[in-house]
Every structure is written in C-alpha cells, then in structure tokens.
Amino acid sequence: MNIRKIVTCTDDVLTEGGREVSPPARTAVVLAVVRNPWAGQGFVTDLAPGIEEFASPLGELLAPRVVEALGRPVEAYGKAAVVGLGGEVEHGSALIHTLKFGDHFRRAAEATTLLPAVEKRAAAGTTFDIPLKHITDATVRSHHQSVEVRVADAPADDEIVIGLAAAAQGRPQARLAPLSSER
C-alpha cells in the first residue's frame, strides 16, 4: 500500500444558532492519500485482488486514528473515497464498500449500522462532504449530518483519498421530532 500522506482534522462547534453548545460538538476526520492500485492498467475487470490486498489494511490503519482523534465515544460515523481523474469511482468504491474495510471502524466505534459513504471522481483540492449516521440506529434523526473536508493537493490523477469521519454527538442544537413520530 503506497500512502503519500495522512491528514487528520478535528472540529469543535462552541455555539450554534447564537447559543452555547455544551459540551462542544466535536467531529474528527482522518484521510489517507493512497496510490490507486488500479492506476495505469486500463479497464480492470476483476477488482477482487486489489480489494483483498488493500481494503483491510486501510480500514485497520484509519479506524483507530479517527477514534483517537475524536477523543470521545463515537456516536455517528461515515466514510469517503475520492478518486483522482485518472481512475474510476468504482476504484474508490471497491476499497470502502467491503466489510474488509468497514468492519474495522464498526469494531472501533462499537457500531452495528450501515456505514454511510460518499464517493466521487474529482481533481485535487475538491471539497466533499462525508455523511454521518448514528452508529447503532440509522433512524436517529439528530445524528444525520455531514462534515466537509478537502485535501489541497489530492487526489492526484493516480491517487485515491480514503477517509473516515466520526462525531461524538448529533447535530448541535438538534431538535427535530423523532422519525417514529411521523406515522
């Protein structure tokens, strides 16, 4: 696995809607800029060997880092893959849409729900939003949120940015009625 760099970001919201958020709402994101394992090979029909070689090590690397960066129990989580213009969206999807990748984060976060994702093909410096959902109940409306990130110099045409995001709570000042109330 050829990793060029790892970027870690945290965000603490102290006020929302003119009111204090206590404790501050924290999110953390860890992004790995990796060489696309299928770069320069033309159309690759069978992605399984690359998935087998790279998906689990990426999950194993990123999951503990994002949990540590958050510094609190994870309540919401998400993942991302942004593929450079020389690759295909399917290349990013192949790495993150497998239990070999996602189960590392599920275990680290003590999660049971589907891990929401964003994937796209884009030039270096693109901004993308990682969707987040509650770790054990995807219907918990307060935890439906996103975190915006970018890596200024990535992905290069032959790279993929792979990321995990975590939140220690739902949206700051969340006050929508529970989803179950709309029957």
CATH number at residue 135: 3.30.1330.110
What is the structure's pLDDT at 139?
87
pLDDT tens digits, the chain, 183 residues: what are they? 899 999 999 999 999 999 999 999 999 999 999 999 999 999 999 999 999 999 999 999 999 999 999 999 999 999 999 999 999 999 999 999 999 999 999 999 999 999 999 999 999 999 999 999 999 998 899 999 999 999 999 999 999 999 999 999 999 999 987 777 776
Q: Which two tokens stand for residue 78?
A: 């998400």
What is the structure's pLDDT at 177?
77
Q: Which two tokens stand for residue 72?
A: 């609190």
Question: Phi and psi (nearest 5°) for 6?
Answer: -125, 130
Residue 64: give the domain boundaries.
3-181
Q: Which two tokens stand for residue 54?
A: 């790279």
What is the structure's pLDDT at 183?
67
Question: Phi and psi (nearest 5°) for 44?
Answer: -100, 115
What angle is formed at CA 116 by the lines to CA 57 and CA 27, rounded to 5 degrees?
80
Number of domains comprising the chain: 1
Q: Which two tokens stand for residue 179?
A: 């989803």
- Give the whole-angstrom CA distance, residue 98 versus residue 136: 19
- Give the whole-angstrom CA distance, residue 130 versus residue 163: 8
What does pTM read for this prediction?
0.95
